[in-house]
Amino acid sequence: MAALRPRAALPLDAPAGLGSKRGMAQAQLTIDLAAIRANWRALANATTGEAGAVVKADGYGLGVARVAPALAAEGARRFFVATAHEGIAVRRALGAGPEICVFSGHMNGDAEIIRDHRLTPMLNSIDQMLRHVEALPGHSFGIQLDSGMNRLGMEPAEWSALREIALAQKPVLIMSHLACADEPSHGMNAFQLRTFREMTDGLDVPRSLSATGGILLGPDYHFELTRPGVGIYGGQPFADARAVVELMLPVIQVRDVAPGESVGYGNAHVARVPTRVATVAAGYADGIHRALAAKGAVWAGDTRCKIIGRVSMDLITVDVTALNKVPEQLELLGRHQTVDMVADAVGTIGYEILTGLGARYARVYTGA
Ligand SMILES: *Cc1c(COP(=O)(O)O)cnc(C)c1O
């Protein structure tokens, strides 16, 4: 009958900031544009040539309409997106000047978008090359080469067959991508560098090989342009990055759970000792991975509070027994916990945590 025992209500602190338009049960994602600019600046300073900026997947989930102009204000002139469609929002955000390059190249049906938004496809095959020059003769393009990753780009044989024709059309960039740049001692790095050089040495076209990880491998890997992405947004492998995101989750309710009582779906957590549990307004629909229930925590000031029970669609439950006073909000990302720490807890990478940040958060930009 323990479950039916009446409990004393545990009042939360009075809500502050009643003037805000945010719903009180809406989590707040704060994105520090000054930190984004500082991270790009640091990577640009570490680059021997020019640094571009990768803003695919809506600026790694942080909102390209705000992120791209901040990077342009800091001096970025070449931007990269995954698909032509992504380029539309980036062109809108940036206006006419900057170059916007498309990793997927020129796909069937993309000609109009590429032309209207003045995008620069990185052509990945002979088919794409033919499609591009036929649909949009004289329109800018680059070439993507496969130096060993076997994901995108022309392989050495295809490139030798097409080289002279492609060069006659004046590509603005020749690029390739490293598979293992986050492991500096991996032999694949030197192998891909050698392959890329063999495919491109002596050509009078700017070259690009390195993303964030490649920048950190040193100047041999930089060529004329680098393409940092995750480091701009505060993620590994850029260890010196400034934190960019803070995610604060509102506490909806607090209750005391007696030994033997369970918490959440599947009775996944059973209290062994008297436990104070906070129910917090964010769940897997907001990008909080269900696997975070096993090892994850949120922070109340400097106190780590374990997530207990299962992650629900809209809620998580947190052990706040150690707190004298339960704050209105708990930190999932911020000063105490980086995207990479959360990623480690669920067995993924910071990139996936960033790009999975949900659409329901109230997004606040600072440092503009
Ligand atoms: C995503 C991507 C980048 C950026 O990589 P980061 O590791 O995020 O810096 C650069 N180039 C290509 C081809 C990419 O797909």
| Torsion angle of the four alpha carbons 100, 103, 105, 108, in this order, in degrees rounded to the nearest 10 | -100
Nearest CA owner, ligand 1 atom 3: 211
Cβ of residue 53 lying under 6 Å from some atom of ligand 1:
no
| Reported confidence tier of residue 12, pLDDT bands at 50, 70, 90 | low
Q: Is residue 196 part of a domain?
A: yes
Q: Dihedral sign, CA of 292, 293, 299, 300? A: positive
Please check whether residues 185 and 251 belong to one and the same domain.
no
Q: What is the mean pLDDT of residues 229-244?
A: 97
For residue 361, what is the domain's CATH number? 2.40.37.10
Whole-number Å distance between alpha carbons of 159 and 164: 9
Tell me the two tokens of residue 149.
């990753």
Please check whether residues 162 and 265 belong to one and the same domain.
no
Please check whether residues 118 and 219 belong to one and the same domain.
yes
Tell me the two tokens of residue 293.
């229930």
Q: What is the mean pLDDT of the chain?
A: 94
Please check whether residues 212 and 354 belong to one and the same domain.
no
Residue 182's nearest CA partner among 158, 214, 145, 209 is 214
188 known ligand binder? no
User: Does 189 score more than 70 pLDDT?
Assistant: yes
Please check whether residues 67 and 215 belong to one and the same domain.
yes
Q: What is the mean pLDDT of residues 62-83?
A: 98
Q: Is 56 a catalytic residue?
A: yes
Please check whether residues 212 and 355 belong to one and the same domain.
no
Please check whether residues 60 and 195 belong to one and the same domain.
yes
* Full residue range of the structural domain in which residue 142 is found: 48-227
User: Does 355 score more than 50 pLDDT?
Assistant: yes
Q: Is residue 232 part of a domain?
A: no
User: Does 14 score more than 50 pLDDT?
Assistant: no
User: Does 284 score more than 90 pLDDT?
Assistant: yes
Nearest CA owner, ligand 1 atom 13: 177
Find the 293 Cα to ligand 1 centroid distance in Å: 30
Q: Is residue 19 part of a domain?
A: no
Per the structure, the count of domains in the chain is 2
Q: 193, 227, 261 — which closes off a domain?
A: 227
Predicted pLDDT of residue 368: 86
Q: Is residue 270 part of a domain?
A: yes
User: Does 18 score more than 70 pLDDT?
Assistant: no
Percent of the chain with pLDDT over 90: 93
The angle formed by the CA atoms of residues 245, 251 and 256, to the nearest 5 degrees, is 140
Cβ of residue 211 lying under 6 Å from some atom of ligand 1:
yes
Orientation angle between helical segments 187-200 and 156-168, nearest 10 degrees = 40
Please check whether residues 162 and 255 belong to one and the same domain.
no
Please check whether residues 213 and 82 belong to one and the same domain.
yes
User: Does 290 score more than 60 pLDDT?
Assistant: yes
Predicted pLDDT of residue 109: 97
Tell me the two tokens of residue 67.
């992120």
Predicted pLDDT of residue 19: 45
Q: What is the mean pLDDT of residues 303-328?
A: 98
pLDDT one-digit tens code per residue, 140-183: 999 999 999 999 999 999 999 999 999 999 999 999 999 999 99
Find the 214 Cα to ligand 1 centroid distance in Å: 10
Q: Dihedral sign, CA of 53, 56, 58, 60? A: negative
Please check whether residues 252 and 123 belong to one and the same domain.
no
For residue 170, what is the domain's CATH number? 3.20.20.10
Q: Is residue 37 part of a domain?
A: no
Q: Is residue 14 part of a domain?
A: no
Q: Is residue 35 part of a domain?
A: no
Cβ of residue 54 lying under 6 Å from some atom of ligand 1:
yes
Whole-number Å distance between alpha carbons of 310 and 79: 40
Q: 198, 227, 256 — which closes off a domain?
A: 227
Predicted pLDDT of residue 46: 97
Please check whether residues 90 and 173 belong to one and the same domain.
yes
| Reported confidence tier of residue 25, pLDDT bands at 50, 70, 90 | confident
pLDDT one-digit tens code per residue, 252-273: 999 999 999 999 999 999 999 9
Cβ of residue 227 lying under 6 Å from some atom of ligand 1:
yes
| Reported confidence tier of residue 81, pLDDT bands at 50, 70, 90 | very high
Please check whether residues 109 and 189 belong to one and the same domain.
yes
Cβ of residue 159 lying under 6 Å from some atom of ligand 1:
no
Tell me the two tokens of residue 236.
């590994």
In sequence order, what E strands does the chain have? 28-32, 50-51, 53-54, 78-81, 99-102, 119-123, 142-144, 174-175, 207-208, 225-226, 245-257, 262-263, 269-270, 275-280, 297-300, 303-308, 316-319, 329-333, 362-366
Catalytic residue (choose from 21, 60, 265, 365): 265
Q: 227, 254, 283 — which closes off a domain?
A: 227
Q: Is residue 237 part of a domain?
A: no
Q: Is 265 a catalytic residue?
A: yes
Predicted pLDDT of residue 10: 55
Dihedral pair phi/psi, residue 320, rounded to 5°: -115, 25
